[in-house]
Amino acid sequence: MEGRMVKGQIGVIGGAVCSPELYEIACDVGREIATNGFALVCGGLGGVMEAACQRAKKAGGITIGLLPTSNKGDANPYCDLVIPTGLGHARNVLVVHASDALIAVDGEAGTLSEIAIALKIGKPIVGIKSWKLDGRVPQTERGDEAVAMLMEMLG
């Protein structure tokens, strides 16, 4: 991580609890983000966020967790930089604004709010088994494909 330049920041959004299948998909997303030279931004908790951070960190990437709580100890162990916001769900706005583009892995209402914010402000977003919103969120089934799609969107 020392002295490493990053191309930008890719947000990974999804549930704090997920199935083993989604955990593996999120791991693939994290690895691809890191190997493509991007830092990973997320909500800093478990589930999809933890999986993506774990694999990004293993691949030598930088991980940033924007926590909903005021307690740094709530972060998953794979976050390099932990920002305790104390904002609850309002931290979703920060996750989106801190990201150049986003990947949504599954998710429920919190993820939907982040997708809506991304669409509202024009951030590129790709979903994996996530909210489609009448085709406004391009979908794929694999982490490597999702990152490749974002790379194309970012130019």
Domains of the chain: 9-154 (3.40.50.450)
Percent of the residues in the chain that have a pLDDT greater than 90, as a whole number: 96
Q: pLDDT grade, residue 79 (50/70/90)?
A: very high
Is residue 48's pLDDT more than 60?
A: yes
- The rounded distance, in Å, linking the Cα atoms of 155 and 140 is 19
Q: pLDDT grade, residue 1 (50/70/90)?
A: very low
Is residue 110's pLDDT more than 60?
A: yes
The reported pLDDT for the residue numbered 5 is 85
The reported pLDDT for the residue numbered 30 is 98
Measure Cα distances from 135 to 80, 108, 138, 139, 151 in Å.
34, 17, 6, 8, 19
Euclidean distance between the first and the last CA atom of the chain, given in angstroms as a whole number: 25
- The rounded distance, in Å, linking the Cα atoms of 131 and 95 is 18
Average pLDDT of the segment spanning 120-125: 98
Measure Cα distances from 72 to 14, 98, 149 in Å.
20, 18, 33
Nearest Cα neighbor of 12 from 154, 153, 152, 150 is 150
In this prediction the pTM is 0.96
Is residue 2's pLDDT more than 80?
A: no
